[in-house]
Amino acid sequence: MTELTNHQLRLIARPTGAPSAEHFEATEEPARVPEDGELLLETVYASIDPAMRVWMNEDPGYVPPIPLGAVMRGGGIARVLQSRDEAFEVGDVVAARPGWQSHPTLPASEATKLDLGLGTIEDWAGPIGTTGLTAYFGIREVGAIQPGETVLVSGAAGAVGQMVGQIAKIEGCTVVGIAGGPEKCARLTEDLGFDAAIDYKAVDHLEAAIAGACPNGVDVFFDNVGGETLDAALANLRLKGRAVICGRISQTAAEELYGVKNLGVLIGKRARVEGFIVSDYADEFPEARRWISQRLREGELKQALHVVDGLERAPEALAMLFEGKNTGKLVVRVTDA
Amino acid sequence: MTELTNHQLRLIARPTGAPSAEHFEATEEPARVPEDGELLLETVYASIDPAMRVWMNEDPGYVPPIPLGAVMRGGGIARVLQSRDEAFEVGDVVAARPGWQSHPTLPASEATKLDLGLGTIEDWAGPIGTTGLTAYFGIREVGAIQPGETVLVSGAAGAVGQMVGQIAKIEGCTVVGIAGGPEKCARLTEDLGFDAAIDYKAVDHLEAAIAGACPNGVDVFFDNVGGETLDAALANLRLKGRAVICGRISQTAAEELYGVKNLGVLIGKRARVEGFIVSDYADEFPEARRWISQRLREGELKQALHVVDGLERAPEALAMLFEGKNTGKLVVRVTDA
Residue among A261, A265, A273 whose CB faces B266 most closely: A273
Please, which residues have CB within 8 angstroms of residue B91's CB and are 6 or more apart in sequence? B79, B80
Q: How many Cβ pairs within 8 Å bridge chains A and B?
A: 95
Does pLDDT of A98 surpass 90?
Answer: yes
CB contact under 8 A, A245 and B251: no
A209-225 per-position pLDDT tens digit? 999 999 999 999 999 99
Instruction: Calculate how close chain A gets to B146, using CA atoms only, in Å.
Output: 19
Query: What is the domain class of A130-279 according to CATH?
Result: alpha beta
Pick from A247, A271, A275: CB nearest B270: A275
Q: Which residues of B touch A (CB under 8 A)?
A: 61-62, 226, 230, 245-248, 251, 257-261, 263-277, 280
pLDDT of residue B113: 97
Which among A61, A270, A273 has the least Cβ separation from residue B272? A273
Q: Do B263 and A62 touch (CB under 8 A)?
A: no
Percentages (nearest 5) of helix, strand, coil residues in chain B: 35, 25, 40
Report field, pTM of the whole predicted structure over 0.90: yes
Select the residue of A258, A259, A264 nearest B248 (Cβ to Cβ). Answer: A264
pLDDT at B337: 61
- The full set of domain ranges for chain A reads 5-126+303-333, 130-279
Q: Does domain A5-126+303-333 have CATH number 3.90.180.10?
A: yes
Compute the distance between CA of residue B161 and CA of residue B155 in angstroms, rounded to an integer: 6
CATH 3.90.180.10 fits B5-126+304-333, yes or no: yes
Residue A94 buriedness (CB in 10 A; 0-12 / 13-18 / 19+) = buried
Residue B221 neighbours by CB distance under 10 Å: 30
Query: What is the rounded CA–CA span in Å between residue A60 and residue A62?
Result: 6
* Domains A5-126+303-333 and A130-279 are alike in CATH topology: no
For residue A303, give the DSSP letter. -
| Cα distance between residue B272 and residue A130, in whole Å | 22
What stretches of B180-279 adopt beta strand conformation (E)?
196-199, 218-223, 237-245, 272-275
Asked if A270's CB is within 8 angstroms of B280's CB, the reply is yes
The interface predicted TM-score (ipTM) is: 0.91
Rounded to the nearest 5°, which phi and psi values hold at B242? -130, 130
Asked whether B180 and B202 are in contact (CB, 8 A), the reply is no
Cβ partners under 8 Å of residue B26, min gap 6: B7, B8, B9, B10, B312
Instruction: Answer whether A245 sits within 8 Å of B261, measured CB to CB.
Output: no
Say if residues A218 and A238 touch (Cβ distance below 8 Å): yes
One digit per residue, the tens of pLDDT, for chain B of length 337 reads 558 999 999 999 999 999 999 999 999 999 999 999 999 999 999 999 999 999 999 988 778 999 999 999 999 999 999 999 999 999 999 999 999 999 999 999 999 999 999 999 999 999 999 999 999 999 999 999 999 999 999 999 999 999 999 999 999 999 999 999 999 999 999 999 999 999 999 999 999 999 999 999 999 999 999 999 999 999 999 999 999 999 999 998 888 999 999 999 999 999 999 999 999 999 999 999 999 999 999 999 998 899 999 999 999 999 999 998 998 899 999 997 6
Looking at beta carbons, which pairs linking B61-64 to residues 24 or more positions away fall under 8 Å?
B61/A268, B62/A268
| Per-residue pLDDT, A63 | 86
